[in-house]
Structure 1
Amino acid sequence: MDIAHTKYFNDWFRNRVARQIEQGNVNIHDRVKCLARGPDEVVTRYTGYMVNGYRFHTKGRERCLKTQNSGVVVTAKAISYASRRDEQPIEGEVNYFGRLTDIIQLHYSGTYNVVLFKCDWVDINRGCKKDKFGLALVNFSHLTHKGDDLADDPFVLASQVKKVFYMKDERHKDWYVAKPVRLRDVGNEWSFEKQQYGREMPANNDTSSWARNEVDDDGVDIIQEMENEEEEDEFVDPHG
């Protein structure tokens, strides 16, 4: 069902709205019309974004920084069963942990924009567990929604994410403690343009560099290395 939905929903949605318009339905919202027509061919990409009171960086941008802002978590409601014979399922919340790899803003007819986060998502079955203290541990060696299957979907709405900080667990190889980040009130969401680096981006993707002691809980405190960077961030307000 997921594959069929992925393959045919766009065409079904576009044709459905078009038929409603042809039949004189005046109750279709302008936003629905924009979505049915699909996004513009030109998109905007960012390496950083501020939303929900959090600052996020893509994993690639962090290679030249001393801070970590790529950790994301999405909390979803799910139905769980104790066994196949269980007739009383329990509704609970499931946390999906990931790290941000790309930020894309879709434009619809020049009037409506949607910001998507593309992430490396940890497999909740193989790459997530809790330690004896109840702390969430994640392993980025076990990923899901990698794009190998048509039903894979590495994207999530930016408005749905919260921020986590990953700290290397010295007792368990390849495992990281996922620490929730406290919320800072920054007002309306805003973004900043992609930074042009004056030096080659390092190719090392080793996440062990994420275990830092000098970074505050939200991972965005200014330190001397950041002040000495070759270029400053250029901030752009998408609502301006």
Structure 2
Amino acid sequence: MDMFQLRHDIVQVLCKFEMIFPPAFFTSMMHVMVHLPEEALLAGPVNYRWMYPIERLLGELKKSVRNRAKPEGSIIEAWVQYESLTFCGMYLKDVETAFNRPQRNNDGGMRKEKLSVFAQSARPFGDPGRGESFSRNDMEVAHWFVLNNCDEIMAYLDEHEEMMKREHPSHLLPRNTVNCFHNVEIIEFPTYSDELYNLAFGPIRELFSGCYINGVKFLGAARDDKLCTQNSGVHVPGGGESTNIDFYGKLTTVVQLLYKDRYQVIMFKCRWFDSNPNRPGSVKIDHGLLSVNINRTWYDDDPYILANMATQIVYLDDPKARSSWKVVQKMDHRNVYAIPELDPTDNTSTMWLTNV
């Protein structure tokens, strides 16, 4: 409805301009505004029909002209060479080509570890900022988060809880105790592995200022604030047992937990903004745009997440509010696609594959 209203109002706006500005003001660029709403209604967003890709291609073809007397022949000869080299590059394995070159945000590729927390496709980089610290309490909180988000060890935690109920029914410790995993006789389980054994021993840590994860580049806020771009916004979708609240924050430090035999877990330490909609002054929605108050934080004592839980977002200035409010803008990354996995038991997906 806004576009229809704009198509009606733009004519009246230009008529009022004619009463104020001289005739020289009304160039073709001013007149084109009359047609823009109609074109948007007929053809949709302009990025699906603009000429920038064609102009870039014409610019590349123009660079291939070496003989100005015969420009067409120069372009054809250069294009044949390009096609030939591209075809040969598909079969060159030991030479870096456009087909085997590492991606722009190289995260190290798929890992072969079996535990989900060890199988992250992540590569940290950069020295941490000055003043960054990691205390013993931070280590316990981070390691506790790893244990409680590793599906493969839930059976061991259940066994420990049952053992504590039998031996100490009146002094039952909470399940979030980090040391409980050390007391379980994991070697008696048939699913025991070296990865599980090393996870139980606990880690040492290293700090970094950035990380490549799943083809996306993240930077800590101290380093990101010095740049014109923005790579520190973090979003974790809700869906827990007690709440479906989405979490929004900014990455402060990348933590690498190193276990025995060179196993690693990459974690993000974030500054989480209060996004509880039941608390006034935390979040607001205006015309479908979500704004968060960056001066109000929560989960200061539990700031860690696994790196593969995070999706990147951008914070924009909210022109209708004070500087403490930022508009959350989600985005899609280039060459990163969220392709759902097919369920082999789903008859619909099987039927579709058969018809293809």
8 A contact 2:198–2:261 mirrored in 1: no
Q: Which amino acid counterpart does residue 227 of structure 2 have in structure 1?
A: L
Distance 1:25 1:47 in 2: 39
8 A contact 1:128–1:136 mirrored in 2: no
Aligned positions of 1:66-215 closer than 5 A? 66-78=228-240, 93-125=244-276, 126=279, 128-147=282-301, 153-173=302-322, 174-185=324-335
Distance 1:69 1:36 in 2: 33
Q: Which amino acid counterpart does residue 122 of structure 1 have in structure 2?
A: F
- Report the number of matched residues: 162
The one-character-per-residue Cα deviations of 1:38-80 (angstroms, maximum 9, x if unpaired) are 113xx22211111123211100012322211110000121457
8 A contact 2:186–2:197 mirrored in 1: no
Q: Which amino acid counterpart does residue 192 of structure 2 have in structure 1?
A: I
Distance 1:20 1:113 in 2: 20
TM-score normalised by the chain length of structure 1: 0.61
- The Cα of 1:37 is off from its aligned counterpart by 0.7
- Aligned equivalent of 1:34, options 198, 202, 210: 198
Distance 1:36 1:139 in 2: 39
- The Cα of 1:20 is off from its aligned counterpart by 3.3
The one-character-per-residue Cα deviations of 1:108-134 (angstroms, maximum 9, x if unpaired) are 103311000000001122464342312
Distance 1:123 1:138 in 2: 8
Unpaired runs of 5+ residues, structure 2, are: 1-147, 149-172, 338-356
2:211 is matched with 49
2:227 is matched with 65
Distance 1:26 1:4 in 2: 26
Unpaired runs of 5+ residues, structure 1, are: 81-91, 148-152, 188-240
Which structure has the bigger radius of gyration? 2
Q: Which amino acid counterpart does residue 316 of structure 2 have in structure 1?
A: M
1:15 is matched with 183
**Aligned sequence identity (%):** 33
- The Cα of 1:143 is off from its aligned counterpart by 0.3
Q: Which amino acid counterpart does residue 66 of structure 1 have in structure 2?
A: C
8 A contact 1:165–1:179 mirrored in 2: yes
Distance 2:237 2:253 in 1: 20
C-alpha RMSD over aligned residues? 2.4
Q: Which amino acid counterpart does residue 198 of structure 2 have in structure 1?
A: C
- The Cα of 1:186 is off from its aligned counterpart by 6.5
The 3-state SS of whatever aligns with 2:235 is: strand
Q: Which has the higher strand share?
A: 1
Distance 1:55 1:112 in 2: 22
The 3-state SS of whatever aligns with 1:64 is: coil
Q: Which has the higher helix share?
A: 2
